[in-house]
Chain A
Amino acid sequence: ILNVEQSPQSLHVQEGDSTNFTCSFPSSNFYALHWYRWETAKSPEALFVMTLNGDEKKKGRISATLNTKEGYSYLYIKGSQPEDSATYLCAFHNYGGSQGNLIFGKGTKLSVKP
């Protein structure tokens, strides 16, 4: 059974703090890793799709790295703002896997205090 784990489960930081969290996934048959940002009552918003070992992607103050050999990805937020408060989900797609089956972690819930 393919399993995706995210840590920590929740995180409380002060405005201005930088933070990071982890997504662990099976290292064999890797195909792609997706990061989403999900605010309550809104659609999960796609942040990154990462495919290559060593990949690093950036969107404003948010960046992500990928290590497919050891099976992890880090998401970094620099200078957290209250509007960054959300649940951050990662989802794994394995090579040879189904067309539709994104396998999700449970998410990291980030709260940023002003």
Chain B
Amino acid sequence: EPEVTQTPSHQVTQMGQEVILRCVPISNHLYFYWYRQILGQKVEFLVSFYNNEISEKSEIFDDQFSVERPDGSNFTLKIRSTKLEDSAMYFCASNRLAGGPGTDTQYFGPGTRLTVL
């Protein structure tokens, strides 16, 4: 069964460093997302991406964050200058329909745990 994959599973970085988190969404999906979960808190939406551009972003997704789909398969989240509070589990997700996730199942990857020291 097709699945969303993410690499690495765990990333440790120093404060101020740049990190790139990678995702391979399911191949025929059209909408892509990043969410994060800070330990002990709720999963929070960061950004959605459709047709090679950002569809929507949350307040969390400030100028230090960016997303890209550099080729036909990868979807990346870049954090330019990491802060301690960026430590979280970052999930990538995708869904098939162009209409978004409202009634369409959104498929999640296993997450990348980012630790900022």
Contact = CB atoms under 8 A, between A and B. Distances in A.
A43 B101 CA distance: 17
Given A41-B110, A89-B43, A99-B56, A32 B102 contact: yes
Give chain B's interface residue range (CB within 8 Å of chain A): 20 to 34
Contacts of A42: 110
B105 A99 contact: no
Interface in A100-114: 100-106
Interface stretch (A15-23, A44-52, A75-83): A44-52
B91 to A, nearest CB: 7
Say whether chain A's binding surface is mostly helix, strand, loop, or mixed.
loop
23 contacts: A32-B102, A32-B103, A34-B105, A36-B108, A43-B4, A46-B105, A46-B106, A46-B107, A91-B43, A98-B45, A98-B56, A98-B100, A99-B31, A99-B50, A99-B101, A99-B102, A100-B31, A100-B33, A100-B48, A101-B48, A101-B56, A103-B45, A106-B42
